[in-house]
Amino acid sequence: MIRVLFVCLGNICRSPMAEAVFRDMLVKANLTKLIEVDSGGIGGWHVGKIPHQGTRDILDQQNISYIGMKARQVSKKDWDDFNYIIAMDDQNIKDLQNINSQNTDIVVAKLMDFVEDAKEREVPDPYYTGKFDYTYELVMEGCSKLLSYIREKHNI
Ligand code: 4NP
C-alpha cells in the first residue's frame, strides 16, 4: 500500500480539499486498494472539526465526497505511516522539518512541486484569501500531477 498524507496549517481548508480531490481521483481510477490518502494540520486548533464551509461548498459543487473527514494534527508517527507527505506551502515544509528533521526514505514535498510551469509555487491559504475557487484549481492540477508521478514511480 502506498500512503499519501496532505498537510496544511489548520487541516480545515487546503489539505482536506486535497485529500477529498485525490481520493475522488483514486476512486475513478480504481486505485483505492493500492493507494491510501489522509490529511493533517501543523496546528491543533481545529482538531475534530469538519472541513471549512468554503472547502465544503466547492467540493459539493464538484460532487466530491468529504464524508467522515475530521481535522487532526500531524505527528512524528506519520513518518512511519506514510510514503508521501505533501505540503501546501514553504512554511508547512519548515514546520514539518521541525517535527521530524531526520532523513527518511519518504518523500516530503509541496503539492505544486509536481506541476511544471505552475502559476504558483505554493497553494495560497483561502482561510485568509477567501478564494476557495482558485485554491481548488491549483489543488486539482497538483493532485492530478502527483497521481501521475506516483503511478509512474510505482508502475501502477
Ligand atoms: P488551512 O487554513 O491551513 O488551509 O486549513 C487555515 C485554517 C485555519 C487557520 C489557519 C489556516 N487558523 O489559524 O485557524
First to last CA, the chain: 11
Residue 153 has pLDDT above 90, yes or no: yes
Residue 40, helix vs strand vs coil: strand
Cβ < 6 A, ligand 1 pocket: 8-14, 45, 125, 127
Q: Which of these is catalytic: 24, 38, 78, 125?
A: 125
What pLDDT, on the 0 to 100 scale, is given for residue 104?
Answer: 84
Q: What is the percent of the chain with per-residue pLDDT over 70, rounded to a whole number?
A: 100
Candidates 33, 28, 8; CA nearest to 18 is 8
Residue 48's Cβ-side half-sphere holds a number of Cα atoms within 13 Å equal to 1
* 151 catalytic per annotation: no
What pLDDT, on the 0 to 100 scale, is given for residue 26?
Answer: 98
Residue 127 CA to ligand 1 center (angstroms) comes to 6
* 13 catalytic per annotation: no
What pLDDT, on the 0 to 100 scale, is given for residue 29?
Answer: 98
* 14 catalytic per annotation: yes
Q: What is the percent of the chain with per-residue pLDDT over 90, rounded to a whole number?
A: 97
Residue 103 has pLDDT above 90, yes or no: no
The position carrying cell 475534530 is 48
Residue 120, helix vs strand vs coil: coil
